[in-house]
Amino acid sequence: MAKTNTGNIETLLKGRATPELELVQAELGSRLSFREAACVLDLFVPTARPHNHRTVVNRLAKVADQIEKWDAASPYRMSRAGGSPISVFIDGAYIRAVPGYQSRHFEIAMGRVVSPGRLPRQFAAAPHVTTGKHDAVRAAMRAQGWLPGRDVTVFSDGDVGLQSIVLSATRQPVTHILDWFHLSMRLRHIEQTWQGLSHIGDLSIYLRDVAVDVPRLRHLLWSGYVREATKAVKNMLYQLEQHATLRDANQKLKRLSVLISNLRSYLVQNTTSIVDYCHRYRSGQPISSSPAESAANSLVNARMNKKRQMRWSPAGAHRVLQVRAAVADGRLKQAKFALAA
């Protein structure tokens, strides 16, 4: 009779754990290292045998798979809400790969989907897994009320690969806006380098265009005057080429030339993505991809890079990211996963 009862319990609770315990193990495994999560469980959920970190790994994988199934099905029931504009903030981060992987690092794509009147939805995905990066973005957008044909605005640092992920997710043209912070940092490096050359008295005479255009570049790009800024950059490079002897004799001047040349390539690549940041800022609209940077810190860096420098396989990292995103959004407690059946 005892064997029959035990068999009935094992049939109801596969893995010999309740769904509540599996969710706790998955959340702890996404927040802490797997061994630390097992130690915490030993403190608060004591059992006859100590908790094994491999059990935490397996339970987290099980919950992550259920989250992806839930995300694949839920958006189609939730997407009938009002068609408000969708903003996708996307960024990338590199984490260390396990020994034997094809490279030392691989890139994670993560970010945040924002829709007015809704809580932000975070997403993250690793390469070479069943669920593609564009699938993760598409599921997050559909959960925020997006349907094909509705406008999407993408904020990124100008990386073509990140833009292509959103294009694959929407399968339609999107509006891309270059992150002002990354553009501003390039300008800042040029301004600081030129300021370091201010002690050379005759330099502003020989490089008159540089002396005039460097201080006004920021205003031009802040106001969305891309053509004027590109023309000023070309004039500065032309003048530096005319005084190649003077440029090569001074290391700071040589560095200035490299920075301006890089800025020119950056402007040419993202000409259509530079907007009137001043107008958007004053009207309360976003001008940077800071929500994506925040998602990178909360989803990736806190668990995989800055504090927990482990080596990861793409599949393992992807599953941890799914649980971390669900925890951050509050979806882990709201969803009803079929864990015990």
Question: What was the pLDDT predicted at 243?
Answer: 78
82 confidence band (pLDDT: 50, 70, 90):
low
Q: Which of 20-34, 68-82, 250-264, 313-327 has the lowest mean pLDDT?
A: 68-82
Tell me the pLDDT band of 271, cut-offs 50, 70 and 90.
Answer: very high
The CA-atom distances, in angstroms, between 161 and each of 156, 167, 168, 177 are: 10, 10, 11, 15
Arithmetic mean of pLDDT, 326-341: 73
If one compares 74 and 92, the residue with the highest pLDDT of the two is 92
Can you give the pTM of this predicted structure? Answer: 0.86
Shortest CA distance to 26 belongs to which of 328, 334, 327, 330?
A: 327
Average pLDDT over residues 37-48: 89
pLDDT at position 338: 57
Least confidently predicted of 5-19, 206-220, 323-337? 5-19
**Residue 196, Cα to own-chain centre: how many angstroms?**
34
Residue 76 in this model has a pLDDT that exceeds 70: no
% of residues, the chain, pLDDT over 70: 87
CA distance 233 to 187: 11
Domain residue spans of the chain: 2-73, 75-178+288-328, 181-273
Buried b (16+ CB within 10 A) or exposed e, 86-113: bbbbbbbbebbbeeeeeeeebebbbbbb
Instruction: Give how far Cα 111 sits from Cα of 88, 155, 177, Å.
Output: 7, 10, 15
State yes or no: pLDDT of 341 exceeds 50. no
At 306, the amino acid letter reads K
Look at residues 239, 241, 216, 211 and name the one whose alpha carbon lies nearest to residue 229: 216
Helix, strand or coil for residue 196? coil
Structure tokens at 201: 């008295």
> Could you tell me which CATH class the domain 75-178+288-328 is placed in?
alpha beta
Lowest mean pLDDT segment, chosen from 150-154, 196-200, 309-313 = 196-200
pLDDT digits (tens, 9 = 90+) for 226-250: 999 999 999 999 888 887 776 666 7
Q: How many other C-beta atoms can be found within 10 angstroms of the C-beta atom of residue 199? A: 7
What does the pLDDT read at residue 266?
Answer: 95
Look up residue 184 and give its two tokens: 């501003």
Query: pLDDT band for position 81 (50/70/90)?
Result: very low
The position carrying tokens 């990354």 is 182
Using a pLDDT cut of 90, give the percent of the chain over it: 50
Q: What is the pLDDT of residues 105-123, one digit of tens each?
A: 899 999 999 988 888 999 9
Mean pLDDT of 3-17: 54
Inter-axis angle of helices 160-170 and 133-143, to 10 degrees?
60
